[in-house]
Chains A and B, each alone.
Chain A
Amino acid sequence: MPLIEALIIRTRTLLRPRTLRSGRWLLAFVLLVILPLVAQEKRLSIYAPQTFYQVSITDHGKDAYVGLFDLLEPLGKVEARVADKKWKLSFTGSGQPVDAEFQDGKRKCKIHGNDFEMTGNFILQGGRGYVPVTSLANLLPRIIEKTLEVHAAQRRLFIAGVAMKFTLDLKHNPNRLVATLPSPIAPQIANDGTHLRLTFVRDPVIPTGVDVYSYTEAPFASSNFSEANGIATLDVVGTVPLQASISDGGKTLTISAVNQQAAPAPTTPNPQVPSPTAPSAGTPSSATATVPAATPKPRTGRMYYVALDAGHGGDERGAQLTETLNEKDVTLAVARRIQHELEARGITVYNVRPGDNTLTSDQRAASANGSRAAIYISVHAATLGTGLRVFTAMVPPLATPNRRAFLPWDTAQAAYIANSYAVAGAVAAECNQRKITVKSLGAPVRPLNNIAAAAIAVEIAPQADTVESITDAKYQQDIATAIAAGVADMRGKLEGQ
């Protein structure tokens, strides 16, 4: 699996003596948390013009299935209800609402009154509807009324022509490989000597058809572009150490030999190689970001992005809000709204739980810490009370917080609690401005204490006396907007800390 190979490359780098001390925590994180996750999780990556997200794939018999509600929710307004064995769905995207009706155990369904046959039976489980991944190419365009390109085996889905064909051109004087794309990209870059790997998680790049090249001109030996399990990977092998640089606002990728004079010993790690879980930024912060194989450049601050954690998920349903509504579904819906709002404000979001998967508190904290986000937001929902509650950890602030020292896991938040109070205050202020009932207080909620960044947990309660109002789209949107505005207000204070 390409991602596992990338992790192994990263692991080797960390095992070098000079990096062993600083990289030990990351190595443990990779081995204990990421590898098991990667081995278990199957995800479908969806690339749409307005967003990128992933949903979990579950196996039913020999076929791979995906939850249709999870798939459609980020693309528009979705409503679903169960009547007898039928699952009735209403989707409103940019145009008129589209109604669809599915029946448990049947291939045939109705979309906008027209019959449609899927490649496998529809499955209704716990009020959620699942459809075969192989049906999506024909099923989804009928619902969202947009063109679709599906790479089913590779688990990637491109909506409304967002896919970008990726070609590497060999240019001379000096020899270099150049890819020019219509939209900015931000791959994760890792290297091990002469092997350079670029991993495209959020970038909708696709191969042109011929994916493996052999080069006769130095410094390149071969390149291989591949797609698997929702990500694309470019491997370039050279005869000397290689470097990758991104320029032209993220639209041009250049791979060339490392400038040997500027580079110190080749065993030095690449400090800018993101950790395995680190999200790629939506837009590079500078015009040219160079990531050579061996250029030690100490990190001076954090990029301003947010780790967004939809509470519960998978087997862990959270609170039972109504007979048919679980907390995990509301948290995911609200988290996606917050993500849209943050991205609209130019803030990149790292999704700790992008789909319906089970994560322990420690896995969530490890994932968020590994991403090195500036702010962590845990999203919860409850029926008690009304409005929004904003929680910060219950840890005593340190008199002289030292964030470069090794932080104890149980009290990692202590070094950041002042920033957490500030973020909670900013979110509460935005809620007050929008006349949303808000309460801000300390709470012993997991995993806030383990987060090495400004961290808050938000709990959404119903708008009025009726519990159902918690699913009201406008209400959720108002809250998401207030949270995103509060986080955006903190940018000036937290960026680069």
Chain B
Amino acid sequence: MISRHMKIAIVLLVLLAIFLAAYNRALKKHAERLQAKVADLRPIAPPVAGRVQNINVWVAHDEDGTLRKQETRVTLPAETTQRARLLLRALFTIYLDRRSPHPIGEGSDVKDVYLLNNDTLVVDLNAPFADAHRSGVFVEELTMLSLVQTLATNVPNVHQVKFLVDGKERETLAGHADLKQSYDVGLVAQSSKSLQ
């Protein structure tokens, strides 16, 4: 026969166990939220001196395999290389968003942009962009065309775009898209037409 005191003690212990379980769950969720914030490696752009402008970026959409113009508001300086870098960062912001139509790897960023002979842009991308990119001819092509088309649309007099990864030449983006050769803006525009 279990005494009344014992019964009360057991009930209290069960209630305590339920409370601790709920508390533990709440703590875990809180920790996960904090972790997500820490893991958000999206680049924080430094303050830029320039005019806030409405520009068109070319966004890849995996769902139907198209490239579509999308208007976005960005502060853009007049200097060509800084302008190109911020344009690509604006595009990356769309791709890094949770509802991205064409997701790219976390932490993807543009390290630097150089201008050669006033008509060739050399874009230095960081390693997370290339290392975490999905592999496939078409998915890689969508990325490359959207980058080149965005630059061609917003940076005047650019005829060629060359890509580096972490300051070095790389054979392909993720096994398919050619990064050894420069991209001819005219040819990219031609290919992009069939994707619009």
A binding-site residues for B, Cβ under 8 Å: 312, 316, 318-320, 327, 360-361, 380, 382-385, 389, 391, 394-396, 410, 439-446, 449, 457, 459, 461
Verify if B43 is at the interface (C-beta below 8 Å from A). no
Asked if B78 is at the interface (CB within 8 A of a chain A CB), the reply is no
Interface string of B160-196 (1 = CB under 8 A from A): 0000000000011011111011011011101100110
Across chains A and B, which 4 residue pairs bring their CB atoms closest together, nearest first? A382-B136, A319-B135, A442-B191, A444-B178
* A442 touching B181, Cβ below 8 Å: no
* Chain A facing B: main interface SS: mixed
Indicate if the CB atoms of B184 and A396 lie closer than 8 Å: yes
* A445 adjacent to B135 (CB under 8 Å): no
Contact A384 B65 (CB under 8 A): yes
Name B residues whose Cβ lies closer than 8 Å to a Cβ of A: 62, 65, 134-139, 141, 144, 171-172, 174-178, 180-181, 183-184, 186-188, 190-191, 194-195
Contact (Cβ within 8 A) B178 A446: yes
A-B contact count (CB 8 A): 86
Instruction: Find the A residue at minimum CB distance from B177.
Output: A444
Could you give 9 example pairs across A and B, Cβ below 8 Å?
A: A312-B175, A320-B135, A382-B138, A384-B62, A384-B65, A384-B134, A439-B194, A442-B194, A445-B176
* 6 further interface pairs, Cβ-Cβ under 8 Å (given A380-B176, A391-B137, A396-B187): A319-B136, A410-B180, A440-B194, A442-B191, A443-B137, A446-B178
Min distance, Cβ B177 to any Cβ of chain A, angstroms: 5
The CA-CA distance from A444 to B138 in the complex, in Å, is 10
| Residue with the greatest number of chain A CB neighbours at <10 A, chosen from B139, B178, B183, B184 | B178
Given contacts A441-B194, A441-B195, A442-B190, contact A382 B137 (CB under 8 A): yes
Q: Is the CB of B187 within 8 A of A394?
A: yes
Docked-complex contact A383 and B136, CB < 8 angstroms: yes
> CA A454 – CA B187 in complex, angstroms?
19
Q: Given A316-B175, A439-B65, decide whether A389 and B190 contact each other with a Cβ distance below 8 A.
A: no
Please indicate the chain B residues that have their CB under 8 angstroms from the CB of A380 in the complex.
136-137, 176
- A358–chain B nearest beta-carbon distance, Å: 13
The residues of A that contact B191 with a CB separation of less than 8 Å are 394, 441-443
Identity of the chain B residue whose Cβ is nearest the Cβ of A439 in the assembled complex: B65
Instruction: List, in ascending order, chain A residues with CB within 8 A of B137's CB.
Output: 380, 382, 389, 391, 443, 445, 457, 459
Q: Are B136 and A446 in contact (CB under 8 A)?
A: no
What chain B residues lie within 8 Å of A312 (beta carbons)?
Answer: 175
Q: A318-B175, A443-B191 are in contact. Are A410 and B138 (CB under 8 A)?
A: no
Query: Cβ of B194: which chain A residues have Cβ within 8 Å of it?
Result: 439-442
Judge whether B139 and A382 touch: CB under 8 Å. Answer: yes
Q: Smallest Cβ distance from B58 to chain A, in angstroms?
A: 15
| Chain A residues with CB under 8 A of B186 | 396
Q: Which chain A residues border B135 with CB–CB below 8 Å?
A: 318-320, 327, 382
Verify B178–A449 contact, CB threshold 8 A. yes
Report the minimum CB–CB distance from B182 to chain A (whole Å): 10
Chain A residue nearest to B65 in the complex (CB)? A385
